[in-house]
Amino acid sequence: MARLRETKAPSGIAGGPPSPDPHRPDSGAVANLSAAGQATRSKQNRAVPEAAELRQLERAEVWNHVQRLTLQQLDRLVAMEPKVLRDASPKPVHDLRVASRRLQSLMDFLYAPPRPPQVQKLRRRLQRARRVLGSLRNQDVMADRIGRILARKRATHREAWKAVHCYVLKLRPKIAARAHRKLARLNLGDAYLRLREELAGPASSSARTSRVLTFPEQGRADGPPVTPLEGGSLSRPQVEVTPAARLAERLGDLWRDFEVRSTDSRRNPSALHALRIAAKRLRYTIEVAADLGFSGSADALAWLRELQGRLGDWHDAEVLGQTMIKLVARRGFLEEHLALAIEIGKLVLRLRDSKARSCKAYLRETFRSPEYRRTADSVAQWAALRRAAD
């Protein structure tokens, strides 16, 4: 089943070294963190977090490292917007949606609620951009899938698939024009400049909240100068949040939501979309954890990618079925093409039946699998190790 796959995150999430920027925090400690990359990758394959990893995440340069990754991903996202607006190919649309999810995951790691206004504003714009481009992405996936079916020498129901393919291709320019107008109105460039200023410099007083992030070891003479990304009024209670505590908190919240969605989806197939969204959020946060050396992250990411791929396939089949129904329901189509409409209707029933059978069997097995159990154990043990350190 053909669909656009979300590519594996390159090293450092955003891919490639960051460009020099005098406003970005830089330190030798961050370089040391990157230089230890080989040891970090070997840690990812262990199933149980170790106390040494906890101490590594308590270091002040971790905040700076994630901050740099966020700036890189922000630069990458904004560079993709012109490509989406001028390029008719599906890849820029897919890449921008994936980049927005990775950027949002990094931002959510750095900024715990309540978030600074500029951060919250860009976060909402990222979500709107994905929704705006969602219909266009669906058209591209459907066109690609049907094109592959028609490319087979012995494709069955060829006339029915040709009719659906022509319908999808005819809709694409209209959907693309509407998506491009809405994306331009979101003005991601303005949000980019504001968030870049927020990330690259000290947090302004207007962006301060009652919950603060206090960097460990910031008072050491040999440590890098670090400014907290979140601040609060001195008259309000302040909460000191270390990188390890923030990671444990974020993963714990996302895992609980994922567990609820997985239970719902096994009882009610209509809840699959919510499970798909929960899996994406968990996956992109674990990508951040993998970059920081979180044990068990490699296995967890492999399992989540497979699950996300299956859920995506079922989502695409559902969207395709709905599009085929809309085609048959068009005024005059049923009357003028009765035999073709009946054939398309049979294809819709086959899609639904195939999805229901494969979905039930796969979910039953995957949530009993050793990979699922190892992922659950890693998250639980990380949280336990964090509480023990406190």
Mean pLDDT over all residues of the chain? Answer: 78
260 inside domain: yes
Same structural domain, 76 and 141: yes
The answer to whether residues 212 and 231 touch, using CB atoms and an 8 Å cutoff, is yes
| 313 or 267: which leads in pLDDT | 313
Average pLDDT over every residue of 77-98: 92
Out of 5-14, 68-77, 257-266, which region has the weakest mean confidence (pLDDT)?
Answer: 5-14
Pairwise CA distance, residues 268 & 265, whole Å:
5
| 224 or 137: which leads in pLDDT | 137
Out of 80-89, 95-104, 241-250, which region has the weakest mean confidence (pLDDT)?
Answer: 241-250
Out of 37-46, 89-98, 346-355, which region has the weakest mean confidence (pLDDT)?
Answer: 37-46
- pLDDT in the model for residue 288: 87
Same structural domain, 199 and 258: no
Same structural domain, 386 and 248: yes
357 inside domain: yes
The answer to whether residues 99 and 6 touch, using CB atoms and an 8 Å cutoff, is no
The answer to whether residues 195 and 122 touch, using CB atoms and an 8 Å cutoff, is yes
Same structural domain, 286 and 370: yes
Same structural domain, 274 and 144: no
Same structural domain, 385 and 286: yes
Same structural domain, 200 and 266: no
pTM: 0.74
Confidence of residue 387 (pLDDT cuts 50, 70, 90): low
Same structural domain, 199 and 288: no
Same structural domain, 261 and 388: yes
- pLDDT in the model for residue 136: 95
- pLDDT in the model for residue 361: 86
Over the stretch 180-225, which tens digit does the pLDDT of each residue have? 999 999 998 888 888 888 877 654 333 333 234 433 333 333 433 4
Average pLDDT over every residue of 249-267: 90
48 inside domain: no
Same structural domain, 279 and 342: yes
* Domain termination residue (choose one: 161, 186, 208): 208
pLDDT at 172 over 50: yes
364 inside domain: yes
- pLDDT in the model for residue 293: 75
- pLDDT in the model for residue 94: 94
The answer to whether residues 282 and 261 touch, using CB atoms and an 8 Å cutoff, is no
111 inside domain: yes
The answer to whether residues 187 and 78 touch, using CB atoms and an 8 Å cutoff, is no
Half-sphere exposure of 265 (CA within 13 A, CB side): 26
Nearest to 143 by CA among 172, 113, 112: 172
Domain count, the chain: 2
- pLDDT in the model for residue 157: 92
Same structural domain, 62 and 153: yes
pLDDT at 384 over 90: no
* Alpha-carbon dihedral 142, 145, 149, 152, rounded to 10 degrees: 140
3-state helix/strand/coil string of the chain: CCCCCCCCCCCCCCCCCCCCCCCCCCCHHHHHHHHCHHHHHHHHCCCCCCHHHHHHHCCCHHHHHHHHHHHHHHHHHHHHHHHHHHCCCHHHHHHHHHHHHHHHHHHHHHCCCCCCHHHHHHHHHHHHHHHHHHHHHHHHHHHHHHHHHHHCCCCCCHHHHHHHHHHHHHHHHHHHHHHHHHHHHHCHHHHHHHHHHHHHCCCCHHHCCCCCCCCCCCCCCCCCCCCCCCCCCCCCCCCCCCHHHHHHHHHHHHHHHHHHHHHHHHHCHHHHHHHHHHHHHHHHHHHHHHHCCCCCHHHHHHHHHHHHHHHHHHHHHHHHHHHHHHHHCCCCHHHHCHHHHHHHHHHHHHHHHHHHHHHHHHHHHHCCCHHHHHHHHHHHHHHHHHHHHC
| 193 or 166: which leads in pLDDT | 166
43 inside domain: no
235 inside domain: no
Confidence of residue 176 (pLDDT cuts 50, 70, 90): very high
Half-sphere exposure of 42 (CA within 13 A, CB side): 3
33 inside domain: no
| 260 or 113: which leads in pLDDT | 260
Confidence of residue 140 (pLDDT cuts 50, 70, 90): very high
Out of 28-42, 319-333, 345-359, which region has the weakest mean confidence (pLDDT)?
Answer: 28-42
Same structural domain, 279 and 180: no
pLDDT at 284 over 80: yes
Pairwise CA distance, residues 337 & 340, whole Å:
5
User: For residue 302, what are the domain limits?
Assistant: 242-390
pLDDT at 20 over 80: no
